[in-house]
Amino acid sequence: MRSEEYAPDADLDTVKPGPKSILIMKRGPGLTEMLALHPRSDDHEDLLTQLFRTSGSEPSSPVIGLASENWKMMKQITADKTKGIGNRVINGMPAVGFGFEAPAREIVDSTDAAGQAHVQIWVRRDDGVPLLGELAYQNTQGQNMRIEFSDIQWNVPLEESLFDLVVPADWSLNWTRIKLAEYADTGLAPGVTLQTCPDGQEPLASAVDVAGVVRAEQITQPNSNIPTVRITIELKPEAAHRLHDYADAHPDKLIVVNFNGQIKVATKLDAAHPTQLSFDLTLLRLSLAELEARYLTTTIERNKP
């Protein structure tokens, strides 16, 4: 995957401005490499390497095919959840529009999203291929956010050189390393507590509702000795239903995880994996290896007398 970011006021049709940043991602067995370039600063780029430790399966993240993921999400939207918003011409092609609403956290990959998201999708009238997407929502600070996907092109031939992980001459390197561990037959260690609840209210899930630990991720930034660590757990179906029912009824409320009585952090429900819950454990100031040793255990160890 290759993505380029431009200034909001850049006119890409008349003068080709330089991008503010370029992100190139390649994924192979057990390894994902990313190269983030900032051409306008001319003094550095970030080379980000991801190392995956899995249990016999390919890592589930990061998402490489953003177009296919969004296409999959749109195909799941049923007609009874949308309304027609009219007709227009986009890039010379007749288009018809559809609008729908959904919890913002199901549409936007950010814990900063809140409330309902308002989405409009414009598609070609003859075959339904998306041409334009517009998304509006509020973040947790009450600010109005807007995202637009336009000038969408499909199946365009691309030069392989676009995806070369080549560092420009005379630029310095900043390394960001990401380790992703995926687990099988792993759970919370005996005595580790967990409470998941709306902020300031009674818990909707606890450690007994945890079916297992799915994965953990460690991100080490340049010039930092404290890695960012996130963990994803699998909830039993009954607990997952309670959390999703509450989130659907109260889309503007934060859901908080109290981990082992040590830290409280906001969490995000994943619509694609409704029984999974991810949250940040960076404030524990532990590495991934230390987190595993203190708080995780295999099924065999957990069942020892």
**How is the chain split among helix, strand and coil, in percent rounded to 5?**
15, 45, 40
Q: Tell me what pLDDT residue 304 has.
A: 40
Average pLDDT over residues 105-113: 71
pLDDT tier for residue 151 given thresholds of 50, 70 and 90:
confident
- Summarised one tens digit per residue, pLDDT across range 12-26 is 566 666 777 788 888
**Of residues 106 and 110, which shows the higher confidence score?**
106
- In terms of phi and psi (left: phi > 0; alpha: psi -120 to 50; beta: otherwise), the region of 269 is beta
End-to-end C-alpha distance for the chain, whole angstroms: 49
What is 77-122 written as a DSSP string?
A: --GGG-EEEEEEEETTEEEEEEEEEEEHHHHSS-TTEEEEEEEEEE
Q: Tell me what pLDDT residue 260 has.
A: 95
Q: Tell me what pLDDT residue 256 has.
A: 92
Q: Tell me what pLDDT residue 283 has.
A: 92
Asked whether residue 105 carries a pLDDT value surpassing 90, the answer given is: no
Q: Model's pTM, two decimal places? A: 0.57
Q: Which domains, ranges and CATH numbers included, belong to the chain?
A: 2-149 (no CATH), 183-302 (3.30.1360)
Average pLDDT over residues 240-267: 90
Q: Tell me what pLDDT residue 187 has.
A: 93
- Summarised one tens digit per residue, pLDDT across range 181-198 is 888 889 999 999 999 988
Asked whether residue 41 carries a pLDDT value surpassing 90, the answer given is: no
Average pLDDT over residues 80-91: 90
Average pLDDT over residues 241-250: 90
